[in-house]
């Protein structure tokens, strides 16, 4: 497209907002029907295409194109309207590297150079000692806004927990940076209309001054003690029991393909067990956080997929991020750059001994015997460090036919400088530093195809019913009963957090197993989350998926993701509002069903989040478990099983 001079596309990664810029090139997923036709019916291989996102600064509009066939494209098609049913306004676009460069320049010229004395006395800023910045999102309070609170932090590694108490609101709506303005400043809890007002009041002694103090970097991750010991390590006695070829993995009875979207992150496709497809797609969709703060710099609502989750899948460290002996795979991305980038070792794949038996029984009644097997499972992992936070994304394949999607959070918390009222929003966790209360919400797309795409959504639960005891005439007892149901429309099947939902949720086929029960996979959600945001808040539409623990929709090519690249910067009228997927309340009976699963946890930061949040207890996920899918536990055929009986 660069070669089409009429498009006037800049080749610079520092293209300004007024230039035309290719922001993103990512794989365009072929239509599911075409893929299934190819995989299952001997049809032709679908054309490989890319999606190319162009920000037309000259025209102030955004276009998305399907470009194909890869690797030597000959045609492109504007898919913007098809994908979003509207053209996302230009202010919906993320801030590019080019715009950030202008913002830093603006900050330097219009703020830092004008506040030299204040910044020196307060924060030790000199010509070779600066402050680092961190943004609050969204950039305003209504569609079209593009004004961002930027807070400042000491120039340390792990700066996120070194707030200095200075924040600036910049309006950068115009594509012409000379029209940008400083809207407000916050210094030690006090607001100022302008740089001049701050300077004047500071000089006049009408400001509660912060006096710079040099402090050690408590955020440093440098070991405090000499690394002396190595903990236990896994090794493969008989070599590796899985293979990775291109993006295909084979592991015992499992096979799947994997990929990484720059925006949504890790995903696997065509998960099969003994050759039978169980899942068409299992993917990360969104990672969202809502923060509480008195200072605007931390009054933030992050939608990470708008920034790019997969974008930040960096190199994994052997022996820490994944076991030494894992297989490490490179990924390639083109997002907000001028040439495709290779990320070495950014996905790892390994077999892991969970340290527990998968199953076992010891018998000493009537028969003496022991049978069991260890629980070794295959893990595919990325870790995405999106600014301060690092999310671990695991998909785990068990020998019992279960697949688990798991997320853990680690990295740095976000923080704010301690001022009046700060403690209403969190605890103090370090010198002058508040760890702000926030939520973590994660959305997964789970497109189970149980024996084909035509499935139903089943529920099972227990209820106590009073029954007579036939051997005790006149006597009754309340006895657990199995209650089965089927939810038949999208609205019925949108299971809200905070409501009582059936304990067992199943994507089921109409085919039965040997014992006459519908073959199904159960979704077991592991979550510690609570309220995401009141629906009355205008930003809620951009995260409406978080209303539901599980929501089931009818598969649509136009509803591939629950969030979008444009949601963060237009939370008020987002390009994708998940709740609209279910608004038409379609039938989900014998349809291709997609489960959208939300998990998460409330995070009240505490001193032990310094320097980093630990993964223990800070996670969630969903387990996909066979439930009458097989006729018995498939792990009976595992070569790992052992049996002992006395002669």
- List the catalytic residues: 304, 389
Q: Annotate 526-562 with three-state secondary structure.
A: ECECCCCCCCCCHHHHHHHHHHEEEEEEECCCCCCCC
Stretch that binds a second copy, among 70-78, 79-87, 516-524, 563-571 (CB under 8 A): 516-524
Pick from 506, 586, 509, 522: which is nearest to 554 by CA? 586
| x/- map, 349-388, a second copy, by CB under 8 A | -xxxxxxxxxxxxxxxxxx-xxxxxxxx--x---x-x-xx
| Residue recorded with tokens 């199904």 | 520
C-alpha distances out from residue 518 to 68, 77, 399, 446, Å: 42, 43, 22, 19
Which listed residue (97, 513, 579, 590) binds a second copy by CB under 8 A? 513
Secondary structure of 452-478 in HEC code, one letter for each residue? CCCEEEEEEEEEEEEEECCCCCCCEEE
Give min distance, CB of 446 to Ca ion, in A.
9
Judged by CB under 8 A, which of 293, 414, 542, 563 binds a second copy? 293
Among 34, 47, 155, 253, binds a second copy (CB under 8 A): 155
Nearest CA to 493 out of 588, 631, 377 is that of 588
Judge residue 510's burial from the number of C-beta atoms within 10 Å of its C-beta, 0-12 exposed, 13-18 middle, 19 or more buried. middle
**Which of 248, 317, 340, 580 is in the footprint of a second copy by CB under 8 A?**
317
Residues 58 and 21: beta-carbon distance below 8 Å: no
Q: Is 467 exposed, middle or buried (0-12, 13-18, 19+ CB in 10 A)?
A: exposed
Q: Which stretch binds a second copy (CB under 8 A): 27-35, 196-204, 569-577, 637-645?
A: 637-645
Q: Which of 166, 398, 457, 596 binds a second copy (CB under 8 A)?
A: 398
**DSSP-derived secondary structure for 282-340:** EEEEEEEEEB--SSGGG--EEEHHHH-SGGGB-PPPBTTTB-TTSEEEEEEEEESSSS-
418 or 603: whose CB is closer to Cu ion?
603
Stretch that binds Ca ion, among 186-194, 219-227, 440-448, 633-641 (CB under 5 A): 440-448
Q: Is residue 236 at the binding interface for a second copy, with CB under 8 A as the rule?
A: yes
Q: Which of residues 424-483 bind a second copy (CB under 8 A)?
A: 424-430, 437-439, 460-462, 464, 469-472, 475, 477-482
Site map (CB under 8 A) of a second copy, residues 525-564, x = contact: -x-x-xx-xx-xx---------------------------
244 binds, among a second copy, Ca ion, Cu ion, none (CB under 5 to 8 A by kind): none
Of these partners, Cu ion, a second copy, Ca ion, none, which one is at the site of residue 561 (CB under 5 to 8 Å by kind)? none
Q: Which is nearer to Ca ion, 92 or 449 (CB)?
A: 449
DSSP-assigned states of every residue in 149-173: EEEEEESSTTGGG-EEEEEEEEE--
The rounded distance, in Å, linking the Cα atoms of 62 and 317 is 37
Question: What is the total count of residues that contact Ca ion (CB under 5 A)?
Answer: 6
- How far is it, in rounded angstroms, from Cα 254 to Cα 378? 9
Considering only the stretches 259-267, 316-324, 329-337, 554-562, report the one whose residues sit in contact with a second copy under the rule CB under 8 A.
316-324
CB of 39 to Ca ion, least distance (A): 14
CB of 395 vs Ca ion, minimal distance in Å: 17
- Written as one string, the DSSP assignment of 601-647 is EEE---GGGSS-B-STT-EEEEEEEEESSSSS-GGGG-TT-EEE---
The radius of gyration of the chain from alpha carbons, rounded to an integer in Å, stands at 27
Say whether residue 586 binds Ca ion (CB under 5 A).
Answer: yes
449 binds Ca ion (CB under 5 A): yes
The residue among 146 and 603 lying less far from Cu ion, judged by its C-beta, is 603
Among 392, 419, 456, 571, binds a second copy (CB under 8 A): 392
Q: Is 276 in the site for Ca ion (CB under 5 A)?
A: no
Cβ closest to a second copy, residue 29 vs residue 249: 249
**Interface with Ca ion, residue 557, by CB under 5 A:** no
* Residue 345 and residue 330 in contact, taking contact as beta carbons nearer than 8 Å: yes
Q: Do residues 199 and 118 lie in contact, with contact meaning Cβ atoms separated by under 8 Å?
A: yes
Give residue 126's Cα distance to chain centre.
38
Q: Which residues contact 537 (CB under 8 A, 6 or more apart)?
A: none
Q: Which does 586 bind (CB under 5 to 8 A by kind): a second copy, Cu ion, Ca ion, none?
A: Ca ion
Q: How far apart are CB 322 and a second copy at their closest, in Å?
A: 8
Find where tokens 């993006």 sit. 247
Tell me how far the alpha carbon of residue 451 is from its chain's centroid: 29
Q: Say which entry of a second copy, Cu ion, Ca ion, none residue 375 contacts (CB below 5 to 8 A, set by partner kind).
A: a second copy
Q: Interface with a second copy includes 197 (CB under 8 A)?
A: no
Instruction: Summarize as ranges the residues that interact with Cu ion (CB under 5 A).
Output: 603
Residue 143 makes contact with a second copy by CB under 8 A:
no
Tokens of 275: 């050759």
Does residue 220 bind a second copy (CB under 8 A)? Answer: yes
Q: By C-alpha distance, which of 295, 293, 330 is closest to 313?
A: 330
Q: Any contact of residue 124 with a second copy (CB under 8 A)?
A: no
According to CB under 5 A, which one of 546, 592, 609, 619 is a site residue for Ca ion?
592
Residues 243-262 that bind a second copy (CB under 8 A): none
592 binds, among a second copy, Cu ion, Ca ion, none (CB under 5 to 8 A by kind): Ca ion
Q: How far is the CB of 509 from Cu ion (least distance, A)?
A: 25
Q: Where on the phi/psi map is residue 11: left (φ > 0), alpha (ψ -120 to 50), or beta?
A: alpha
Residue of 203, 330, 584, 608 interacting with Ca ion (CB under 5 A)? 584
Residue among 581, 539, 576, 578 nearest 143 (CA): 539
Could you tell me which of 306, 332, 262, 388 has the C-alpha nearest to residue 95? 306
Residue 494: how many CB atoms within 10 A of its CB? 24
CA dihedral 178, 416, 567, 172 (to 10 degrees): -10
Which of a second copy, Ca ion, Cu ion, none binds 365 (CB below 5-8 Å, type-dependent)? Answer: a second copy
**Least gap, CB of 413 to Cu ion (angstroms):** 6
Site for a second copy (CB under 8 A): which residue of 71, 205, 223, 474? 223
310 binds a second copy (CB under 8 A): no
Q: Residue 198: helix, strand or coil by DSSP?
A: helix
- Which does residue 496 touch among Ca ion, a second copy, Cu ion, none (CB within 5 to 8 A, set by kind)? none
Residue 584 binds what, of Cu ion, Ca ion, a second copy, none (CB under 5 to 8 Å, by partner type)? Ca ion
Is residue 634 near a second copy by the rule CB under 8 A? yes
Candidate residues 171, 177, 579, 638; the one interacting with a second copy per rule CB under 8 A? 638
Q: Which two tokens stand for residue 72?
A: 């030597």
Alpha-carbon dihedral sign for residues 260, 261, 264, 269? negative
Closest approach of a second copy to the CB of residue 140, in Å: 9
Q: Which of residues 585-624 bind a second copy (CB under 8 A)?
A: 602, 604, 606-617, 623
Looking at the Cβ atoms of 6 and 222, the one nearer to a second copy is: 222
């Amino acid at each position: 497209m660069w070669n089409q001079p009429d498009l006037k596309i800049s080749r610079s990664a520092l293209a300004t907002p007024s230039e035309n810029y290719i922001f993103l090139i990512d794989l365009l997923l072929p239509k599911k029907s075409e893929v299934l036709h190819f995989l299952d019916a001997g049809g032709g291989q679908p054309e490989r295409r890319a999606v190319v996102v162009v920000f037309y600064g000259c025209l102030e509009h955004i276009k998305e194109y399907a470009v194909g066939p890869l690797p030597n494209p000959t045609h492109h098609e504007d898919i913007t309207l098809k994908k979003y049913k509207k053209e996302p306004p230009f202010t919906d676009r993320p801030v590019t590297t080019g715009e950030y460069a202008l913002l830093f320049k603006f900050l330097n010229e219009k703020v830092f150079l004008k506040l030299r004395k204040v910044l020196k006395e307060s924060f030790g800023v000199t010509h070779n000692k600066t402050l680092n910045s961190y943004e609050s999102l969204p950039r305003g309070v209504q569609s079209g806004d593009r004004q961002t609170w930027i807070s400042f932090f000491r120039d340390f590694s792990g700066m996120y927990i070194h707030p200095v108490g200075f924040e600036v609101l910049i309006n950068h709506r115009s594509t012409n940076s000379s029209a940008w303005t400083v809207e407000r400043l916050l210094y030690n809890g006090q607001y100022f209309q302008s740089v001049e007002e701050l300077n004047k009041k500071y000089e006049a002694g009408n400001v509660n001054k912060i006096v710079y103090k040099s402090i050690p970097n408590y955020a440093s991750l440098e070991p405090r003690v000499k690394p002396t010991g190595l903990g236990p390590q896994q090794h493969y006695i008989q070599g590796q029991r899985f293979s990775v070829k291109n993006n295909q993995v084979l592991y015992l009875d499992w096979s799947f393909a994997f990929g990484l979207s720059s925006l949504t992150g890790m995903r696997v496709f065509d998960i099969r067990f003994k050759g039978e497809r169980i899942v068409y797609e299992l993917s990360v969709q969104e990672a969202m956080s809502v923060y509480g703060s008195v200072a605007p710099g931390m009054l933030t609502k992050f939608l990470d997929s708008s920034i790019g989750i997969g974008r930040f899948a960096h190199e994994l460290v052997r022996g820490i991020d994944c076991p030494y002996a894992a297989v490490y795979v490179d990924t390639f991305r083109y997002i907000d750059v001028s040439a495709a980038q290779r990320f070495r070792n950014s996905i790892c794949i390994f077999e892991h001994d969970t340290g527990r038996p998968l199953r076992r029984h010891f018998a000493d009644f009537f028969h003496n015997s022991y049978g069991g097997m260890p629980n070794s499972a295959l893990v595919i992992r990325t870790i995405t460090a999106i600014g301060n936070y690092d999310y671990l994304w695991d998909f785990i394949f068990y020998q019992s036919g279960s697949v688990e999607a798991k997320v853990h959070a680690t990295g740095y918390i976000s923080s704010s400088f301690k001022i009046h009222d700060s403690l209403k929003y969190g605890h103090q966790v370090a010198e002058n530093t508040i760890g702000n209360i926030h939520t973590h919400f994660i959305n997964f797309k789970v497109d189970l195809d149980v024996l084909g795409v035509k499935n139903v959504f089943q529920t099972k639960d227990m209820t106590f019913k009073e029954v007579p005891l036939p051997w005790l005439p006149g006597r009754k007892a309340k006895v657990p009963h199995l209650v089965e149901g089927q939810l038949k429309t999208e609205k019925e099947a949108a299971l809200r957090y905070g409501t009582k939902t059936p304990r067992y949720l199943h994507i089921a086929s109409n085919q039965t197993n040997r014992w006459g029960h519908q073959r199904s996979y159960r979704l077991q959600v592991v979550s510690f989350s609570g309220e995401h945001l009141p629906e009355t808040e205008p930003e809620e539409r951009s995260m409406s998926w978080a209303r539901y623990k599980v929501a089931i929709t009818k598969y649509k090519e136009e509803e591939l993701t629950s969030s979008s690249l444009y949601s963060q910067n237009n939370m008020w009228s987002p390009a994708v509002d998940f709740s609209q997927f279910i608004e038409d309340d379609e039938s989900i009976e014998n349809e291709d069903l997609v489960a959208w699963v939300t998990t998460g946890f409330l995070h009240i930061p505490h001193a032990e989040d310094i320097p980093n949040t630990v993964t223990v207890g800070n996670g969630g996920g969903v387990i996909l478990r066979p439930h009458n899918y097989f006729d018995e536990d498939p792990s009976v055929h595992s070569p790992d099983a052992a049996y002992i009986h006395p002669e």
